[in-house]
Amino acid sequence: MLYYALVFLVVALIAGVLGFGGIAGASASIAQVLFFLFLILFVVSLVVRLMRRA
């Protein structure tokens, strides 16, 4: 999932450099959502792992 967030970030950067504002904005938004979703799932997995050890 983090891979897809990075891919959309790169697409957004390239589209922004080339002047495609709409595509850059959409790609940046998708990358941001995927990154935060990755962070939430990462924290949940850490909490579950700590609960199993106890």
- Specify the pLDDT at position 42: 93
pLDDT in tens, 1-54: 778 888 888 888 888 888 888 888 888 888 899 899 999 999 999 999 999 987
The answer to whether the beta carbons of residues 5 and 35 sit under 8 Å apart is: yes
Question: Which sequence spans correspond to the domains of the chain?
Answer: 2-53
pTM for the model stands at 0.72
Distances (CA, A) of 41 to 46, 47, 48: 9, 10, 10
- Specify the pLDDT at position 6: 84
